[in-house]
Amino acid sequence: MSLYSQYSKAQDAPANIVKPEITIGVVVFPPFTLAHTDKPGCYGPFINQAVDVFLSSGMALSVVCAPAARIYRLLQSGEIDMTINVHSTAGIVGHVKFFNRPFSFLELSLVSYADATEKSVAAIRAFDYGGYRGKLSAQGYKFINVPTALDAINVFLRRRSESLITYKGPFDYMMATKAEPEGEPIVMERIAKVPVYFAVANNSPNADAVNAWLASYSLKLPVNKTFMAEPYMPAKIE
């Protein structure tokens, strides 16, 4: 079930920008996006930054929270206008236009038990992980796919998989509240620093307005900066 929330109705947009209501679709991806526990909708720094980007656009921004596979279907049909994702996600490639400035960077790691006996890896269903799903499959890893980042981490911590492919943010968020499994040391291999982008749905009736605003907003930023930087995410584009 999707969770909807409206965040802002911006004012003072340029006269040549249409003023529709627009929707961004996000997955629950702590600590960047989290579901409210007491009301519908979600919140977090990724959503806050998206709100800031569109604050002066003249467009009203709403947020849809849903599993990744559903977000991709809504993008394909144009029922939502955009998301934040990596370039290589098979479910949206060809259905969206990625804005050319990265929104931010995510650190991707493979976490495994030190005494792992098989190549099983927990992962988020429909996540491509910047192409590393295919690379691990080619190395013989068998995937255990679940709806969310926290589900994948829990599968690993309960040792229903021997490895976990994860972004640093969700893993750190979960491990801050859980101790490492006693007697079962884990090792973390950093795989890559993966850029994520605003991805605007080709079938969205608001695609031109959204892309025009992103281009206008981007002109205000230094050439080598992302839209957003986290403490462990370098702001400079390397």
Domains and CATH numbers, the chain: 3-104+195-218 (3.40.190.10), 107-193 (3.40.190.10)
Query: What local confidence, expressed as pLDDT, does residue 7 receive?
Result: 53
Which pLDDT tens digit goes with each residue over 54-89?
999 999 999 999 988 899 999 999 999 999 999 988
Going from the first residue of the chain to its last (238 residues), give the mean pLDDT of each consecutive group of 10, the final group possibly shorter: 45 52 92 88 92 93 91 96 93 96 94 95 91 95 93 93 93 76 80 94 97 96 87 48
Query: What local confidence, expressed as pLDDT, does residue 26 receive?
Result: 95
* 104-to-143, 203, 228 alpha-carbon distances in Å: 26, 25, 5
Query: What local confidence, expressed as pLDDT, does residue 230 receive?
Result: 62
Query: What local confidence, expressed as pLDDT, does residue 174 receive?
Result: 83
Query: What local confidence, expressed as pLDDT, does residue 10 receive?
Result: 42
Query: What local confidence, expressed as pLDDT, does residue 16 receive?
Result: 54
Write down the pTM of the prediction: 0.81
The mean pLDDT value of the chain amounts to: 87
